[in-house]
């Protein structure tokens, strides 16, 4: 019996050896791999005026990592290559790289404004095809070239890509941002009916990487950038839930600030060809700083006064924004089309951007003061 089994064992081992024997290039030690932390994609024009893709990657430099005396900046290297397409650029890059390229670890994809305005379809298609691409990587649009952002040194960090990773991840805590700026959400946003992709827009402000607004997209093309004050209102109206701070200010010394948690509900109705949208916004308020409304903690009437004042201000802000959106931006960046098409039918071939810009949009704000912090220190 044991003889027989030994023969089986030898057969299995021999066959297994030949099946699982792998080419040398597959198994590579970590030191020989380019582990990407950030990916930058730009569209540039060469001397003949042709559009080219400039792909830059920020990779971890293992050989420098062992030496703690060297500055942290040398721990990463930025590799650049210019070619007709993204994949060609990858091939071209290997000509000047001493390590094997491995994707799927990137934390952030930075897209140059030029490329974003030209359209991202081929870029998104490239990510979608590739089974090893890291779908949870953040996507941001940057002013100028993504290469410059990647090459930027950030003190205390091996490279700027990791800094941006944290930057975008923490956005959701303030300014009513959502946490949905990664590649997965690009997939579900760009091609879907009634949706509109918005991405954080970063640039260098006084040598600090800063989110200075939002890039608004029409399908896969960036249409324009809006600044943070408007982006805050847009986020408030657009995201299901958000956190931020709102202040009522009389002068430098007298103001009331609160932490706000928003909750949004939208209803939609149709009369004839015209759509009517009502955005119900509930603001759960925690007063954190109050030198404007005296004795607010003691009297219900003053709380109501504050609530009303805040409500009026927010409603005014929202109406102003919507007016601007309908006449100036001409994009449905609040994704109202998504709600309308879920109610009145999909695939009818209508342009939701146009319909939303010609429809009535009402905003109802309800402010509810829930907490007052731990006390109040106002000198009479």
The contact mask relative to other proteins for 228-267 (x = CB under 8 A, - = no) is ----------------------------------------
The reply on whether position 1 binds other proteins by CB under 8 A is no
Q: How far is CA 326 from CA 232, 319, 323, in A?
A: 17, 10, 5
Give the closest residue to 83 by CA, choosing from 75, 93, 73, 74.
93
Q: Could you say which DSSP state residue 182 is in?
A: B
Would you state the structure tokens that stand for residue 26, as one six-digit string? Answer: 């597959």
Which residue is listed with tokens 């408007």? 230
Nearer to other proteins, 28 or 205 (CB): 28
Among 62, 101, 126, 187, binds other proteins (CB under 8 A): 187
370 by DSSP, 3-state: which? strand
The contact mask relative to other proteins for 45-84 (x = CB under 8 A, - = no) is ----------------------------------------
The reply on whether position 105 binds other proteins by CB under 8 A is yes
Nearer to other proteins, 152 or 179 (CB): 179
The reply on whether position 169 binds other proteins by CB under 8 A is no
- Residue 191 forms beta bridges with which residues? none
Q: What is the largest CA-CA distance in the chain?
A: 99
Among 29, 131, 272, 375, binds other proteins (CB under 8 A): 131
The reply on whether position 166 binds other proteins by CB under 8 A is no
The reply on whether position 122 binds other proteins by CB under 8 A is no
**Dihedral, CA of residue 281, residue 187, residue 215 and residue 275, to nearest 10:** -40
CB 275 within 8 A of CB 359: yes
The contact mask relative to other proteins for 329-358 (x = CB under 8 A, - = no) is ---------xx--xxxxxx-----------
Helix or strand run (H / E) with residue 16 = helix 2-20
Give the closest residue to 33 by CA, choosing from 111, 90, 98.
98
The reply on whether position 23 binds other proteins by CB under 8 A is yes
The reply on whether position 28 binds other proteins by CB under 8 A is no
Q: Candidates 20-28, 111-119, 278-286, 370-378 — which segment interacts with other proteins by CB under 8 A?
A: 20-28
- Residue 27 forms beta bridges with which residues? none
The contact mask relative to other proteins for 270-289 (x = CB under 8 A, - = no) is --------------------
Nearer to other proteins, 68 or 348 (CB): 348
Pairing of strands 33-45, 108-112: parallel
Give the closest residue to 178 by CA, choosing from 369, 335, 351, 370.
335
* Shortest distance, position 226 Cβ to other proteins, whole Å: 24
Would you state the structure tokens that stand for residue 129, as one six-digit string? Answer: 């095809």
* Shortest distance, position 138 Cβ to other proteins, whole Å: 12
Residues that bind other proteins (CB under 8 A): 15, 19, 22-23, 26, 104-105, 128, 131, 134-136, 184, 187-188, 191-193, 195, 338-339, 342-347
């Amino acid at each position: 019996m044991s003889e027989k089994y030994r023969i089986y064992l030898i057969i299995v081992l021999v066959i297994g050896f030949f099946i699982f024997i792998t080419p040398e290039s597959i198994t590579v030690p970590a030191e020989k791999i380019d582990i990407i932390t950030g990916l930058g994609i730009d569209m540039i024009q060469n001397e003949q005026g042709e559009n080219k893709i400039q792909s830059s990657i920020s990779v971890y430099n293992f050989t420098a990592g062992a030496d703690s005396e060297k500055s942290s900046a040398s721990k990463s290297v930025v590799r650049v290559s210019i070619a007709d397409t993204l994949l060609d650029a990858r091939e071209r890059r290997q000509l000047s790289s001493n390590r094997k390229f491995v994707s799927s670890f990137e934390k952030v994809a930075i897209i140059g404004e030029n490329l974003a305005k030209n359209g991202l379809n081929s870029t998104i298609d490239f990510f979608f095809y590739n089974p090893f691409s890291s779908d949870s990587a953040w996507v941001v649009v940057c002013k100028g070239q993504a290469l410059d952002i990647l090459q930027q040194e950030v003190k205390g960090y091996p490279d700027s890509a990791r800094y941006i990773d944290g930057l975008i991840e923490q956005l959701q805590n303030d300014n009513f941002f959502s946490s949905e700026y990664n590649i997965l959400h690009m997939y579900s946003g760009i091609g879907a009916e009634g949706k509109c992709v918005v991405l954080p827009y970063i640039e260098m402000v006084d040598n600090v990487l800063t989110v200075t607004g939002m890039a608004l997209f029409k399908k896969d093309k960036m249409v324009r950038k809006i600044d943070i004050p408007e982006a805050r209102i847009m986020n408030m109206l657009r995201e299901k839930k958000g956190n931020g701070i709102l202040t009522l200010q009389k002068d430098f010394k007298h103001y009331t600030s609160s932490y706000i948690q928003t909750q949004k509900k939208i209803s939609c109705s149709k009369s004839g060809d015209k759509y009517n949208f009502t955005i119900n916004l509930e603001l759960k308020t925690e007063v954190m700083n109050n030198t404007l409304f005296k004795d607010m903690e003691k009297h219900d009437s003053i709380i109501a006064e504050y609530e009303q004042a805040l409500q009026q201000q927010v409603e005014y802000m929202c109406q102003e924004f919507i007016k601007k959106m309908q006449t100036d931006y001409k994009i449905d960046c609040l994704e109202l089309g998504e709600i309308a098409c879920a109610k009145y039918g999909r695939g009818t071939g209508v342009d939701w951007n146009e319909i939303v810009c010609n429809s009535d949009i009402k905003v109802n704000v309800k402010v509810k003061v829930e907490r007052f912090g731990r006390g109040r220190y106002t000198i009479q």
